Amino acid sequence: MISLEQVSYGYEDRLTLSDLTVRIAPGSFHFLTGPSGAGKTTLLKLLYLERRPVSGRLLMFGDDPAGLDAARLTRMRRRIGVVFQDFRLLDHLSLRENVALPLRVAGRDVAAHASDIDELIKWVGLSKRGSAHPPELSAGEKQRAAIARAVINGPDLVLADEPTGNVDPEMGARILRLLVELNSLGTTIVVATHDLGLIRSAKTLVTARTLRLIDGRLAQGVAL
């Protein structure tokens, strides 16, 4: 369970998020929407532990990150996969090396996980692009590589910030199906998006909850 209890973030004269209370059950699928500047990306940053609330309480997997030592906080972060809108792939690494990077950072034997890496690259439909470098990839290929990288460590939670914002509708639908498939395997998914069409198209694929932010406050939460 992930929960936010009256969480606020920002500064005294300008709060980006105000008094949010949200519970995200294990294995659930959530869309986070709202206009630009509503606080979507800030909320994701709280959830992937880049930022800390200025007030209220955030619990991740039942623990308060603020009370963890560095080693336990690192282990918690490894339970979270993040898909960024701008991909954040390293240009000097091949697609395959980018996907494997979280394993290397975690100190795991990349060679011992070669079959897992290949399987993930195949799953996102990039088997023939493993040796290509990011500048050679299309936006859709970069985003699918970013998804593979986000899940290589088998996270419990995947956060996606506008994952379809830089791709065409057909590729957006393909990316959505990948996230839905992850969710069907038990992974908790939170997708921040301004694309209401994407949310509507998910109706036939997954039971999801939509959380709408307006000016840093939760406006509504409804089932799709």
Q: Which residues pair with 24 in a beta bridge?
A: 2
Q: Calculate the average pLDDT of the chain.
A: 92
Give the Å distances, CA to CA, from 61 to 3, 45, 77, 90, 178.
9, 16, 11, 30, 23
Question: Where does the pLDDT of residue 223 fall: very low under 50, low under 70, confident under 90, or very high at 90 and above?
Answer: very low
Give CA–CA dist 80/46, Å, rounded. 12
Question: What pLDDT does residue 222 have?
Answer: 43
Cα dihedral value 115, 118, 123, 127, nearest 10: -150
Using the predicted structure, report yes or no on whether residue 1 has a pLDDT greater than 90: no
> 142 is written with which tokens?
């970069």
Q: Which amino acid, 191? A: V
* Model confidence pLDDT, tens digit, residues 145-201: 999 999 999 999 999 999 998 888 898 999 999 999 999 999 999 999 988 889 999
Domains observed in the chain: 2-223 (3.40.50.300)
What integer pLDDT is reported at residue 167 of this predicted model?
87
Residues 6+ apart with CB under 8 A from 13: none
Whether pTM > 0.95 for this model: the answer is no
> Using CA atoms, how far apart are residues 201 and 185, in angstroms rounded to an integer?
20
